């Protein structure tokens, strides 16, 4: 009497006779002897596995929670089934151990910023070690590295402090720049005002010097008749004023007496007396 066992595609069957492995059967319909034999089915397809909340310690003694995802498949059904009581758990322990060693050599900041490197180092460290369990790890990935709550709080405080410090420095630099610009503008205005006043003073001095030069040139060009005429005008103005006394030397009296106009003016002054 025979029994029938269907092995699906991408699976393999392990035939046990009286509890001992005897042979391997492939996908399809397979015969076995009931009560004496049984067929163990092993899945050969790639299997995803998620390792959540695994705690590791960094080089600077910071606790980090890690979430790891890996994909593996069975390469040797006989080893997988018989040479280890729990090949999957053994693989998990191997992955966690190497992950602990890798992250333990990194500071917290290095670990948080180096997930790609950790993935590569972990894949290299595992290598073919899982072959002992009849398993091949095809891909391993660090989904998340999360510091503990206390460390997260400290990091947030540090970030806030850094931001406030940066803002304070920026404000101080802005205020200093504003003062510098304002001072420069005032200095430039003062200099411009001083230059304008100096230019105006020079212009006034030049104008006065020009006026004096023209007067000197004019005086140098006239003869004694001009001064005599000016003196006569002065006598005429004196004649019309309330002043009736003029003191001069006898030579001047004689000189002005020869001029008819002067004589007339002097007679008017005498008549007023």
Q: Is the pTM of this model over 0.85?
A: no
Rounded to whole angstroms, the Cα distance separating 209 from 231 reads 27
Neighbours of 128 (CB within 10 A): 9
Count of structural domains, the chain: 3
What proportion of the chain, given as a percentage, has pLDDT over 90? Answer: 12
Q: What is the DSSP string of 124-167?
A: HHHTTGGGGGTEEEEEEEEEEEEE-HHHHHHHHHHHHHHHHHHH
Residue 117 in any domain: the answer is yes
> Residue 95's domain is classified under what CATH number?
3.30.479.30
Residue 268 in any domain: the answer is no
Q: Which two tokens stand for residue 54?
A: 């695994």
Q: Which two tokens stand for residue 127?
A: 């290598």
The whole-number pLDDT of residue 71 equals 92
Is the domain of 196 the same as that of 213?
Answer: yes
Contact call for residues 29 and 11 (beta carbons, < 8 A):
no
Q: What is the DSSP string of 241-261?
A: SS-------HHHHHHHHTSHH
What distances in angstroms separate CA 167 from CA 156, 175, 177, 195, one per listed residue? 16, 12, 15, 41
Residue 225 in any domain: the answer is no
Residue recorded with tokens 């947030």: 156
Residue recorded with tokens 């992955």: 95
Is the domain of 50 the same as that of 143?
Answer: yes
pLDDT-derived band of residue 252, with 50, 70 and 90 as boundaries?
low
Rounded to whole angstroms, the Cα distance separating 95 from 132 reads 14
Is the domain of 12 the same as that of 57?
Answer: no
pLDDT-derived band of residue 11, with 50, 70 and 90 as boundaries?
very high
Over the stretch 41-52, which tens digit does the pLDDT of each residue have? 999 999 999 988
pLDDT at position 3 over 80: yes
């Amino acid at each position: 009497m025979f029994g029938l066992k269907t092995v699906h595609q991408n699976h393999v069957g392990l035939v046990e006779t009286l509890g001992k492995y005897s042979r391997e059967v492939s996908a399809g319909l397979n015969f076995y002897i009931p009560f004496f034999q049984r067929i163990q089915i092993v899945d050969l397809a790639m299997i995803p596995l998620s390792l959540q909340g695994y705690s590791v310690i960094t080089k600077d003694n910071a606790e980090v929670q890690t979430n790891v995802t890996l994909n593996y498949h069975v390469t040797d059904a006989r080893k997988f089934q018989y040479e280890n009581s729990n090949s999957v758990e053994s693989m998990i322990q191997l992955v966690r151990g190497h992950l602990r060693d890798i992250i333990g050599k990194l500071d917290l900041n290095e670990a948080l910023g180096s997930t790609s490197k950790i993935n590569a180092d972990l894949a290299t460290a595992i290598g073919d070690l899982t072959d002992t369990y009849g398993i091949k790890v095809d891909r391993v990935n660090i989904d998340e590295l999360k510091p503990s709550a206390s460390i997260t709080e400290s990091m947030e405080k540090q970030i806030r402090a850094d931001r406030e410090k940066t803002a304070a420095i920026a404000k101080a630099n802005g205020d200093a720049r504003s003062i510098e610009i304002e001072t420069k503008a005032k200095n430039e205005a003062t200099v411009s005002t001083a230059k304008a006043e100096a230019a105006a003073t020079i212009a006034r001095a030049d104008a006065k010097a020009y006026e004096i030069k023209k007067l000197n040139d004019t005086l140098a060009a006239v003869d004694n008749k001009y001064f005599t005429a000016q003196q006569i005008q002065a006598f005429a103005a004196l004649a019309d004023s309330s002043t009736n006394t003029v003191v001069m030397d006898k030579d001047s009296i004689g000189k002005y007496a020869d001029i008819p106009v002067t004589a007339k003016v002097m007679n008017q002054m005498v008549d007023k007396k």
